[in-house]
């Protein structure tokens, strides 16, 4: 799949724009503040309906406007266009090939996109919220059921927390039903995260070694906030499956494993000790809403001991790992967005990344086009877009 054109109306600093794009490499360059990242944000918005910058919808409306509209033309794909519209009445509309889509989850998977931006480094350097966001953004594109499970899980957790905040003993049957629903949807989330992280671990390790010329090892592990499940993972951490197997297991095996996780989670949720703690704190204290990832290099925690260069390389490796996993899992070629990724890398690492991404339609942003000296060196045509001339 490739994005062939981008049409904007009142989006960020673009009052109106219609831009034709290359099927291979697009380099968007210009001074800071002219809207390079805004173009990537607009295109990625058509992948998941949300900004990769964690911006709220009203923030993307151009100054003085009441709404924005973003449309991408798409080729080599099951759909040919996606439009996302938002207005200050807090109404968001998604159209696929001109047909209104009622639920946001039906947008996922129509246009696959992966983004690396300065924010992506926070997946490695900051708290678990950023690592959960990393998981959610990309698993949702692979599974609409995952997105639905997230929505339902959060709904039941909110209902439970309302009861816990009051600190009054609820109806036992009502409370048990809430915990059962939390365990049910949480098990589906945990299962998808475990499988996804397993693939990320295998793929990112290989890519990281390639980027660093085989000088360092990277490992990524899933850390569920379900005590009994975490104990199981730690006990079997030395046992690994064959690398590169992204094939989904038979449906009956998947259901059985989800049911097993559900049972473990429900047992934890209903233990007398945990229930007492929850009423003391007035909120849920375990669950997938507190999951994390353990990202290490050479056996050391990257967040605590890695240099800035190592953290940046690891974040890039995670991004490119997801790119490869998406292609392998779906049989379709995602679009890659790299926001200011090469400016701090030497020539060798620039060439390595260019080699890893040459099969994908790629959008780069940079301040000056000469920074991209290693892009297109193999003869691949490059479309240079100067944002200073777009307004």
pLDDT at 169 over 50: yes
Q: What is the mean pLDDT of the chain?
A: 88
Q: Which of 259-263, 331-335, 358-362 comes out lowest in average pLDDT?
A: 358-362
pLDDT in tens, 107-116: 998 999 999 9
Domains 1-112+332-391 and 127-330 agree in fold: no
Give the model's confidence band at 281: pLDDT under 50 very low, under 70 low, under 90 confident, else very high: confident
User: Do 137 and 47 form a contact (C-beta atoms < 8 A)?
Assistant: no
pLDDT over 90 at 119, yes or no:
no
| CATH architecture of the domain with range 1-112+332-391 | 3-Layer(aba) Sandwich (3.40)
Tokens of 12: 């960020």
Predicted structure pTM score: 0.87
Statement: residue 99 has pLDDT above 80? yes
Q: Which long-range contacts (CB under 8 A, 24 or more apart) does 125-132 make?
A: 125/303, 125/311, 128/290, 128/291, 128/292, 128/293, 131/292, 131/293, 131/295, 132/289, 132/291, 132/292
The secondary structure of the chain in percent helix, strand, coil, rounded to multiples of 5, reads 50, 20, 30
Lowest mean pLDDT among 18-32, 65-79, 364-378: 364-378
DSSP letter for each residue of 328-383: HHHSS--EEEEES-STTS-HHHHHHHHHHTTTS-EEEEESSGGGGTTTTTTS--EE
- In three-state secondary structure terms, 190 is helix
**Residue ranges of domains in the chain:** 1-112+332-391, 127-330
Q: Is residue 88 scored above 70 in pLDDT?
A: yes
246 contacts: CB under 8 Å, gap ≥ 6:
199, 325, 328, 329
Highest-confidence range of 49-58, 186-195, 337-346, by mean pLDDT?
186-195
> Tokens 């592990």 map to which residue?
221
pLDDT at residue 76, as a whole number: 83
91-122: burial string, b at 16+ Cβ within 10 Å, e else:
eeebbbeeeebeebbebbbbbbbbbbbebbbb
- Specify the pairing of strand 25-29 against strand 2-11: unpaired
- What pLDDT score was predicted for residue 242? 46
Using pLDDT thresholds of 50, 70 and 90, give the confidence band for residue 359. confident
Which stretch of 56-65, 254-263, 349-358 has the lowest confidence by average pLDDT?
A: 349-358
Q: Which residues contact 342 (CB under 8 A, 6 or more apart)?
A: 350, 353, 364, 366, 371, 372, 374, 375
Question: How many of the other CB atoms lie within 10 Å of CB of 271?
Answer: 14
Give the mean model confidence (pLDDT) for residues 220-235.
90
What's the pLDDT at 192? 95
Q: What is the pLDDT of residues 239-248, one digit of tens each?
A: 544 444 455 6
Most confident range (mean pLDDT) of 48-62, 93-107, 146-160 is 146-160
Class of the 127-330 domain? mainly alpha
CA distance 197 to 216: 19
Q: What is the pLDDT of residue 44?
A: 94
């Amino acid at each position: 799949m490739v994005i062939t054109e981008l049409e904007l109306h009142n989006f960020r600093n673009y009052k109106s724009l219609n831009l034709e794009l290359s099927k291979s490499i697009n380099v968007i360059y210009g001074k800071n503040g002219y809207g390079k990242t805004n173009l990537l944000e607009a295109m990625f918005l058509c992948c998941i309906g949300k900004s990769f910058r964690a911006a709220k919808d009203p923030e993307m409306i151009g100054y003085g406007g009441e709404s924005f509209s973003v449309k991408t033309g798409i080729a080599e794909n099951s759909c040919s266009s996606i439009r996302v519209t938002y207005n200050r009445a807090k109404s968001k509309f998604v159209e696929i090939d001109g047909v209104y889509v009622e639920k946001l989850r039906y947008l996922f998977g129509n246009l696959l996109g992966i983004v690396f931006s300065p924010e992506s480094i926070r997946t490695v350097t900051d708290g678990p919220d950023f690592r959960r966001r990393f998981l959610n953004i990309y698993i949702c594109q692979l599974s609409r059921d995952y997105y639905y499970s997230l929505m339902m899980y959060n709904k039941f957790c909110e209902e439970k927390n309302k009861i816990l905040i009051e600190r009054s003993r609820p109806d036992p049957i009502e409370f048990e039903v809430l915990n059962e629903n939390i365990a049910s949807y949480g098990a589906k989330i945990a299962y998808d995260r475990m499988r996804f992280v397993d693939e990320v671990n295998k793929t990112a390790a290989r890519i990281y070694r390639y980027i660093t010329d085989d000088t360092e090892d990277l490992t990524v592990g899933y850390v569920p906030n379900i005590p009994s499940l975490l104990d199981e993972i730690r006990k079997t951490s030395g046992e690994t499956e064959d690398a590169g197997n992204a094939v989904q297991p038979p449906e009956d095996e998947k259901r059985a494993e989800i049911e097993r996780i559900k049972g473990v989670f429900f047992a934890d949720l209903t233990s007398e000790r945990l229930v007492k703690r929850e009423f003391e704190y007035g909120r849920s204290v375990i669950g997938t809403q507190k999951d994390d990832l353990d990202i290490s290099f050479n056996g050391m925690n990257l967040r605590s001991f890695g240099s800035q260069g190592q953290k940046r390389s690891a974040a890039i490796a995670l991004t490119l790992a997801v790119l490869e996993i998406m292609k392998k899992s779906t049989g379709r070629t995602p679009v890659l967005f790299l926001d200011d990724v090469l400016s701090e890398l030497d020539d060798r690492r620039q060439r390595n990344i260019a080699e890893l991404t040459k099969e994908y339609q790629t959008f780069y942003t940079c301040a000056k086009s000469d920074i991209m000296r290693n892009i297109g060196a193999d003869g691949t045509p490059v479309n240079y877009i100067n944002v200073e001339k777009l307004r």
